[in-house]
Amino acid sequence: MPAIARGQASDGTNPVLALFTPVRGVLADPAEVAFQIFDVSDDAKRGKPVQVFPPAPDTRALVNSTEPWPAGDKLGPGHVVARWSVPAEEALGAHEVRWFVRSAPGAVEQVVTVDFDVLAADAGSYLSGYALVSDLRAEGVSTAEATDARLARLIRLASQYVDRMTGRFFESRSMTLTLDGNGGRILLLGHPIIAVRDVTLLVAMPVEVGELPITQDFFRVYNRHLTQGLLEPDDRENPRLEFFHESDLLGVHSTPAASLGLGSLVWLRGVQNVVVSGLFGFTEPDGSAVGRTPDLIRHVTKLLVLREIPAMTDTAQREDRQKRWRIVSERTRDQGYNLDPLRAQGGFTGDPEVDAVIASYQRPPQLGAA
């Protein structure tokens, strides 16, 4: 979840407010993109968002999705950025950017809403994290307890902890995976697929290694949780690419290349000879093509941050926040208390409210490319 500080700008060099535009699991350039930015920093504004950009109500800022940055707003295939400079007097807290996207001329317009924060000028900007500073403010964390900059650092720390403990990440990230071909039609990927950009086979040539791009019409992408809203089966637990074969096409025969029929298409056996670039991450279906960070992961991130707000030198406060869940009895006059014994020594934090969620999102053993 992104955040941008007062006085900073979202643009090609600092793409805080950026959008990926997958179509059926493949990153594709849109025909038309526009956006609006709204202030939703309090309950009244959340109920009736206040448009802050463009300044004129009900107008939209057009995105140049055809020309690369800096002439245009295109950062790559199916990837654009919103240009917006945050005024020094902009309200702090929660905002949202609404994207209006047409994948092709005349296509139905899609609306994608993304939450982000406007932070104090000294807090900087960041592109990722599983919670917002405004989430912690809504839970009662005051600026006297922690500045925007400190909360932003703790959110990044907590997000890294969640990644480390689960073996997954819960936001869209652009990555290039180098995998071993297995000689079969199915290629397992280690991370849930949001969208594929390019797939290339590295083929041994007489003199050097050659690159053979794989046309995206020849394989299917298993990310039905986003393209179809299908969670049973859940492709996030078994992300893969699969070549089409003749039997898949109800008797329709095709020849994709000289002397190769569809039944011949396999991921050639080799070591690090398949290169897949695209967008990956364990996101929750929300009607958009990218999905969002799961609500439970967002909740756990906030709990982890709340444990770390006291400074390390404030041992009493840190102990209270990190052990209060274990208190089974307390004597206020003598300032004594009894703690419930830890049931899982060395297991994550020991706090069942946190650990139960982390365990439920853990990556299964041996999940990944063969």
Tens of pLDDT along 227-255? 999 999 999 999 999 998 755 655 444 45
Q: Provide the pLDDT confidence category of residue 263 given band limits of 50, 70 and 90.
A: very low
List beta partners, residue 117: 3, 94
Q: Grade residue 180 by pLDDT with cuts at 50, 70 and 90.
A: very high
For the chain, what is the total number of helices (H) and then of strands (E)? 7, 22
Q: What is the mean pLDDT of residues 144-165?
A: 95
Residue 260 pLDDT greater than 50, yes or no: no
pLDDT, position 82: 97
- The residues, any chain, with a CB within 8 Å of residue 248's CB and separated by 6 or more, are none
Cα distance between residue 120 and residue 134, in whole Å: 12
Confidence of residue 318 (pLDDT cuts 50, 70, 90): low
What contacts 114, CB < 8 A, 6 or more positions away? 2, 17, 19, 96, 97, 99
**pLDDT at res. 252:** 45
Please give the CATH number for the structural domain made up of 3-127. 2.60.40.1930
Q: Which amino acid is at 300?
A: V
Q: Where are the domains of the chain?
A: 3-127, 173-280
Q: Which tops the pLDDT comparison, 125 or 311?
A: 125
Burial class (CB in 10 A: 0-12, 13-18, 19+), 20: buried
pLDDT in tens, 196-214: 999 999 887 655 667 888 8
